[in-house]
Amino acid sequence: MATRLDRVLGAKTAKAMAEQLSLHTVRDLLRHYPRRYARRGEMTKLEDLQVGDRVTVLAQVRKVTTRKMRNRPGSLTEVTVGDGANSMQLVFFNRRHANLQEGAWGLFAGTVGEWRNSKQFAHPDCHLMTGDDDEDWARALIPLYPATKDVSSWVVQRSVKLLLDAAGGFGFVDDPLPEEMRARHGLPSLAAALLDIHRPTSAEDVEHAEHRLKWDEALTLQLTLAARRKAAALEPGIARPPRPGGLLDAVDAALPFALTEGQREVGEELAAELAREQPMHRLLQGEVGSGKTVVALRAMAQVVDAGGQAALLAPTEVLAAQHARSIRALLGPLGRAGELDGALEGTRIVLLTGSQKAAARREARAAVADGSAGIVVGTHALLQEGVDFADLGLVVVDEQHRFGVEQRDALRAKGNRPPHVLVMTATPIPRTVAMTVYGDLETSTLRQLPSGRGGVASSVVPVREKPGWVDRAWERLREEVAAGRQAYVVCPRIGEDAGAEEEPDDADGAPADDAPDRRPPLAVIDVAEALSAGPLAGLRLEVLHGRLAPEAKEATMRAFAAREIDVLVATTVVEVGVDVPNATVMVVMDADRFGVSQLHQLRGRVARGKHPGLCLLVSEAATSSATGQRLAAVASTSDGFELARLDLETRREGDVLGAAQSGRRSTIKLLSLLEDEELIAEARAEATALLATERGLADHPGLAMEVAALATDERAEYLEKA
């Protein structure tokens, strides 16, 4: 397997494979699986193809005609190829493939073009059946490999065949999977699977082989993650057991509501884990509005009671400020220790953000360093050097999807010993993603919303098809404001100055299906102007976006929370975590420019109190288009888990581990987080069990090698950054 390809293939082929496909060894080549298989009888009609589609078809030559071109020198060869009832036209200029003869079978690869209003396949790459690979061509399924300019699919195919012939089969392939594990899950040997993936005789062959090869990937991945969990568990932290009569009890007494059952259960889970020396690593996922903040606050209070400090890391300044404000409000005098009206047994809550004035920052840092601040709320600024904690006991990361493992680790490193870590996310994460990308965390889920919520009714407003609905939308908004409620209008862009500025927070936007000729997205500044001069004239309307000074942002949010503003026209700065229970209407302009999860997040900003909410997704997309249907799906369900799935699908991130870019060597090729849930769960259990044994991987050198290979894989970086 470790043999270099230039020892078995021609030097030129080996060089091209190394350079263009990163295939260096026999192992690399055998792990370079077909992308799909061509088979007879599956050729599509040319009419059904779109101009620009790249296709490879297996077909038979039906007719060949060559004629001189009229307006320029040279000849034109037209070839009709077909397969059953379907046929298509190929054209070649000044070239005549010697083997392009009627009756010959071949593979034709190219891009669908258009000429004088008719579609054609201009000078495709073709590979015709010749004597020496007759046997291959007789097969039902012909493998099509990820290929490059100089290494076509058929070169790969021939190289694999060469290897097979030279070695007399794949008998030389050692199996990394322990035999009893294979038996437990009914998996074929690696040699058999490789033979079937490269030279299948039936679709079932391929399916079985893929299943087995996915196991290799899933197990390797899970072993890596399990090893990481194990290493983390070996480094002890500090136990922070609850202390009756402290801050936690005071928080519970001050809460204006009863905890939901879910909040209580997760709370107990956290309390027990914090009381252990082994650092907690937990992911708390919960629907938007399920009340995660309270759960986190109670955990922070427990840690403060035990003499430690807790840090709450938020993705935006608006959110950090809001958290600090609401925690202070909830704790009252207990959060003002050291101040005149502060309670002696209380603590201090400090806010630390990048935009603070130097003096304020100095003061905050001092309180963090001397331990007088028990609760520290901040943005990325918390991660900076110079922020030293007296005794960091708990790190809470709010809205995880904006933070990477690296950042989490940077904060974790600020503890004298590894602190406990709680990661919170409102983007529901499909189970498999939690098991892989977040594989080093245990998960808890809040499924229930606090009772008494009004719920959100959502609808799509298709501007082109129902222009009247837009007026109706603004009327509804006015009605809500007249009833004492408030509203958000969200636009994808800030506007005014030129340049394609984006909100810094907008990292994950809508699917990239932008056609180049689309008009620019609607902008906050323009929309706010148009609304206050038109349909929303007379209402108190303000704008909020990332280009405002932090104090201005903070002041606007405060005024909105105090009901001094009726309508907030904003970018997605309101997407995450903003909590104004009196807001009931969310109008999203150019809704098609946002991703599914983002829309769900935005919608979560309304109906956080007892009044029912309304979310209107305004879009020019046709209701029948894929985009229109995506919006309809968001409007039709409030099940965040279902939407998270849809989001993965539409963002073509079903393969969250990285889109299968052809031509890149990688360990993770076949595994799909959406489709292979069962398999991943089984592999996770096997990996955990294997590492729990005394000898671990010591008796499984093959597996150890696979794990080592993954570690050097570029895609492993994805795990780090996810």
| R_g over Cα of the chain | 30
Contact between 289 and ligand ADP per CB under 6 A: yes
Place of tokens 């990292």: 507
Phi, psi dihedrals of residue 367, rounded to the nearest 5°: -65, -30
> Do 89 and 80 form a contact (C-beta atoms < 8 A)?
yes
Q: Which residue, 250 or 295, is less far from Mg ion as judged by CB?
A: 295
Q: Which residue, 316 or 353, is less far from Mg ion as judged by CB?
A: 316
Residue 260's binding partner out of Mg ion, ligand ADP, none, with CB under 5 to 8 Å set by partner kind = ligand ADP
The stretch among 104-112, 408-416, 570-578, 642-650 that binds Mg ion (CB under 5 A) is 570-578
Contact between 315 and Mg ion per CB under 5 A: no
Q: Determine which residue in the list 5, 21, 104, 288 makes contact with ligand ADP, applying CB under 6 A.
A: 288
Residues 450-469, one symbol each (x = binds ligand ADP by CB under 6 A, - = not), give x-------------------
Which of 402, 399, 405, 400 has the alpha carbon at shortest distance from 225? 405
Q: What is the DSSP string of 642-660?
A: HHHHHHHHHTT-SSTT---
The stretch among 5-13, 232-240, 333-341, 575-583 that binds Mg ion (CB under 5 A) is 575-583
Residue 699 three-state SS = coil
Residue 6 three-state SS = helix
The stretch among 117-125, 256-264, 353-361, 509-517 that binds ligand ADP (CB under 6 A) is 256-264
- 285: buried, middle or exposed (CB in 10 Å: 19+, 13-18, 0-12)? buried
Q: Which residue, 554 or 682, is less far from ligand ADP as judged by CB?
A: 554
Residue 259's binding partner out of ligand ADP, Mg ion, none, with CB under 5 to 8 Å set by partner kind = ligand ADP
> Do 458 and 603 form a contact (C-beta atoms < 8 A)?
yes
CA–CA distance, 556 with 552 (Å, rounded to integer) = 6
Residue 257's binding partner out of Mg ion, ligand ADP, none, with CB under 5 to 8 Å set by partner kind = ligand ADP
Q: Determine which residue in the list 439, 577, 604, 628 makes contact with Mg ion, applying CB under 5 A.
A: 577
| Two structure tokens written together for 655 | 């393969």
Q: Determine which residue in the list 1, 191, 227, 259 makes contact with ligand ADP, applying CB under 6 A.
A: 259
> Do 380 and 314 form a contact (C-beta atoms < 8 A)?
no
Q: Which residue, 577 or 595, is less far from Mg ion as judged by CB?
A: 577
CA–CA distance, 112 with 123 (Å, rounded to integer) = 10
Q: Which residue, 312 or 528, is less far from Mg ion as judged by CB?
A: 312
The stretch among 140-148, 530-538, 572-580, 624-632 that binds Mg ion (CB under 5 A) is 572-580
Q: Which residues pair with 66 in a beta bridge?
A: 77
Least Å from the CB of residue 426 to ligand ADP: 5
Nearby residues of 711 by Cβ (< 8 Å), 6 or more positions away: 224
Q: DSSP code of 173?
A: P
Least Å from the CB of residue 424 to ligand ADP: 7
Q: Determine which residue in the list 32, 292, 298, 600 makes contact with ligand ADP, applying CB under 6 A.
A: 292
The stretch among 26-34, 192-200, 288-296, 332-340 that binds ligand ADP (CB under 6 A) is 288-296
Residue 450's binding partner out of ligand ADP, Mg ion, none, with CB under 5 to 8 Å set by partner kind = ligand ADP
CA–CA distance, 591 with 515 (Å, rounded to integer) = 16
Distance of CA 199 to the CA centre of its chain: 34
Contact between 289 and Mg ion per CB under 5 A: no
Contact between 418 and Mg ion per CB under 5 A: no
CA–CA distance, 229 with 418 (Å, rounded to integer) = 13
Q: DSSP code of 207?
A: H
Positive or negative torsion for Cα 313, 319, 322, 326: negative
> Do 490 and 503 form a contact (C-beta atoms < 8 A)?
no
Q: Within 13 A of 391's CA, how many CA atoms are on the CB side?
A: 14
Residue 579's binding partner out of ligand ADP, Mg ion, none, with CB under 5 to 8 Å set by partner kind = ligand ADP
Q: Which residue is at the shortest CB distance from ligand ADP? A: 291
Contact between 349 and ligand ADP per CB under 6 A: no
The stretch among 284-292, 363-371, 529-537, 612-620 that binds ligand ADP (CB under 6 A) is 284-292
Least Å from the CB of residue 494 to Mg ion: 24
Residue 286's binding partner out of Mg ion, ligand ADP, none, with CB under 5 to 8 Å set by partner kind = ligand ADP
Q: Determine which residue in the list 34, 246, 279, 291 makes contact with ligand ADP, applying CB under 6 A.
A: 291
Nearby residues of 204 by Cβ (< 8 Å), 6 or more positions away: none
The stretch among 13-21, 358-366, 535-543, 573-581 that binds Mg ion (CB under 5 A) is 573-581
Least Å from the CB of residue 292 to ligand ADP: 4
Residue 124's binding partner out of ligand ADP, Mg ion, none, with CB under 5 to 8 Å set by partner kind = none
> Do 22 and 30 form a contact (C-beta atoms < 8 A)?
no
Residues from 134 through 163 that contact Mg ion (CB under 5 A): none
Contact between 584 and ligand ADP per CB under 6 A: no
Least Å from the CB of residue 314 to Mg ion: 9
Least Å from the CB of residue 477 to ligand ADP: 22
CA–CA distance, 370 with 390 (Å, rounded to integer) = 6
The stretch among 57-65, 258-266, 313-321, 584-592 that binds ligand ADP (CB under 6 A) is 258-266
Q: Determine which residue in the list 93, 115, 172, 257 makes contact with ligand ADP, applying CB under 6 A.
A: 257
Residue 494 three-state SS = coil
- 118: buried, middle or exposed (CB in 10 Å: 19+, 13-18, 0-12)? exposed
> Do 589 and 618 form a contact (C-beta atoms < 8 A)?
yes
CA–CA distance, 625 with 591 (Å, rounded to integer) = 14
Residue 538 three-state SS = coil
Task: With residue 26 as reference, give the H or E element that holds it.
Answer: helix 26-30
The stretch among 290-298, 511-519, 696-704, 705-713 that binds ligand ADP (CB under 6 A) is 290-298
Residue 323 three-state SS = helix
Least Å from the CB of residue 263 to ligand ADP: 6
| Two structure tokens written together for 91 | 């054209």
| Two structure tokens written together for 503 | 């909100």
Least Å from the CB of residue 612 to Mg ion: 21
| Two structure tokens written together for 630 | 């995506």
> Do 473 and 283 form a contact (C-beta atoms < 8 A)?
no
Q: Which residue, 605 or 651, is less far from ligand ADP as judged by CB?
A: 605
Contact between 286 and ligand ADP per CB under 6 A: yes
Residues from 424 through 453 that contact ligand ADP (CB under 6 A): 426, 450
Q: Determine which residue in the list 285, 293, 445, 619 makes contact with ligand ADP, applying CB under 6 A.
A: 293
Distance of CA 234 to the CA centre of its chain: 30
Residues from 78 through 117 that contact ligand ADP (CB under 6 A): none
CA–CA distance, 549 with 555 (Å, rounded to integer) = 10
Least Å from the CB of residue 327 to Mg ion: 12
* Residues touching ligand ADP, count (CB under 6 A): 18
Residues 608-637, one symbol each (x = binds ligand ADP by CB under 6 A, - = not), give x-----------------------------
Long-range interactions of 115-119: CB distance < 8 A, separation 24+: 115/91, 118/89, 119/46, 119/47, 119/49, 119/51, 119/89
Contact between 462 and Mg ion per CB under 5 A: no
Q: Determine which residue in the list 78, 391, 501, 579 makes contact with ligand ADP, applying CB under 6 A.
A: 579
| Binding positions for Mg ion, rule: CB under 5 A | 577
Q: Which residues bind ligand ADP (CB under 6 A)?
A: 257, 259-260, 263, 286, 288-294, 426, 450, 577, 579, 581, 608
